[in-house]
Structure 1
Amino acid sequence: MTFPVETVRVTSQLFPPHVQQALDLIGIFVFALSGGLLAVRKNMDIFGIAVLAEATALGGGVMRDLVIGATPVVAFTNLGYFVTPLVAATVVFFLHPEVERINRSVQTLDAMGLGLFCVTGTVKAHDYGLGSVAAVALGMLTAAGGGVIRDVLAQEMPSLLRWDREIYAVPALVGSSMVVVLIAAGHLTTATATASALTAFVLRVLALKYGWRAPRAWHRNGSRTSEE
């Protein structure tokens, strides 16, 4: 897979290739665990577990690459990216009770993946010539798109859109926005990119701990809607 010169230059400034690869695979593995667990809850067979694991782990990145024209998409040119969700699906297939018991830890690791992918997704979109707003949107898509695909395949309302779930898109939005501001100011470095990812991670972890949720619609008289 070939990238524009600017893409290679900026990406290499953020993380060394081997570090980027390791971080990507960790994030992909954890995202895949959440997809596999939902498949188990839905009583799917091993094929369904594998499909949801792959969709959750790679879906956001695949959609981003298709939008920006980075084809063939990296999920299918890097064997490790494609095989890692299958490893996670196998773990879930045999050890799902144990994985469920450490679900809080999985959610924390998922928050790390959210922070990483919203940053790298935003950078890649920007490097392919998209403006700041579009880059932020694709950064969010990279981080959260797989979860939306997972929920749709499982015939559930995407958790991203449910008011009774802790905020997920907002931390990604903050992290992606920080990246485009840093790019515009000429201060995007490994340290500042890491700070952006950590900001998204911390916001997500705090949301999980304190139950932060996005506000719902209000009536014109200022009273909140009563429907639960």
Structure 2
Amino acid sequence: MSPTAALLFADLLGVAVFAASGASAAVVKRLDLFGVCFVGFVAALGGGIIRDLVVNQAPPLAFDDWRYAVVAALTAVAVFFFHPHLARLRRVVLVLDAAGLALFTVTGTLVALRAGVPPVGACLLGMIAAIGGGVARDLLLREIPVVLRREIYAVASLAGAVVVMALYRGDLTGWPMVGAGVLVFAIRIVALRRNWNGEPAP
């Protein structure tokens, strides 16, 4: 698989995971089919649209490549109809969100680096791409965005983005990038299980 094809696959997988996360959260709020699909779309495509606009990808891939919309739509519809089979939906949302965070951290940082964004900016853009969809999802559902809570969320993404940047500059692509994604996912899941939180202002 070529690097371009691998990046597309990871991006679409991230779309599917975040669409499932958004749709699952909307199901918890008891929205109808349109509402579930809309929240799924926003969660899946929001971060990528921000990323593409920053790197002057016009139109953004979410609008230029039909596969993005189709993957998001099919995933959201599937969640709407099959969610009764998902036990403990809240836990499912958290795991899917962690997976989406990991995937979009890697793809967002790589897209930025390939577009010529300097290393620090690329890391920040990778983080923004990863958290953007989740922020939009939470705002639509009238929740405090997880990134603004005390949970370890954006920090996990930023750590992964730094690893991706270092690997890219060292010409270590392919499986090492998978490791960067696993790192983000692991940090987020361990933080949830062990209740790691940042300290609030005194």
TM-score for the superposition, normalised by structure 2: 0.89
The alignment covers a number of residue pairs equal to 202
**What's 1:122 paired with?**
109
Q: Give yes or no for the alignment of 1:180 onto 2:165.
A: yes
**TM-fit CA distance, 1:213:** 1.5
Give the stretch that moved more between structures: 171-180 or 91-100: 91-100
Assess, with a 3 A threshold, how the Cα gap between structure 1 residues 100 and 53 changes in structure 2: closer, same or farther. farther
> What letter matches 1:53 in structure 2?
G
Q: Give yes or no for the alignment of 1:167 onto 2:162.
A: no
Q: 1:2-44 CA deviation, whole Å, 9 max, x = no partner?
A: xxxxxxxxxx4xx461x44443333222211221122223332
**What's 1:108 paired with?**
95
Give the stretch that moved more between structures: 167-176 or 23-32: 23-32
**What's 1:138 paired with?**
125
TM-score for the superposition, normalised by structure 1: 0.79
CA distance in 2, matches of 1:21, 1:107: 24
**What's 1:150 paired with?**
137
Give the stretch that moved more between structures: 56-65 or 118-127: 118-127
Structural mapping, 1:2-81, within 5 Å: 12=2, 15=3, 17=5, 19-81=6-68
Q: Give yes or no for the alignment of 1:82 onto 2:69.
A: yes
- 8 Å contact from structure 2 (residues 25, 90) kept in 1: no
**TM-fit CA distance, 1:126:** 1.7
5+ long unaligned stretches in structure 2: none
CA distance in 2, matches of 1:41, 1:108: 15
**TM-fit CA distance, 1:65:** 0.4
- 8 Å contact from structure 1 (residues 37, 100) kept in 2: no
**TM-fit CA distance, 1:135:** 0.7
1:96 maps to which of 83, 107, 127: 83
Assess, with a 3 A threshold, how the Cα gap between structure 1 residues 209 and 178 changes in structure 2: closer, same or farther. same
- 8 Å contact from structure 1 (residues 114, 201) kept in 2: yes
Q: Give yes or no for the alignment of 1:204 onto 2:188.
A: yes
Q: 1:53-85 CA deviation, whole Å, 9 max, x = no partner?
A: 000011100111011111111112222211112
Compute the RMSD of aligned alpha carbons: 2.2
- Percent identity of the aligned residues? 43
- 8 Å contact from structure 2 (residues 13, 103) kept in 1: no
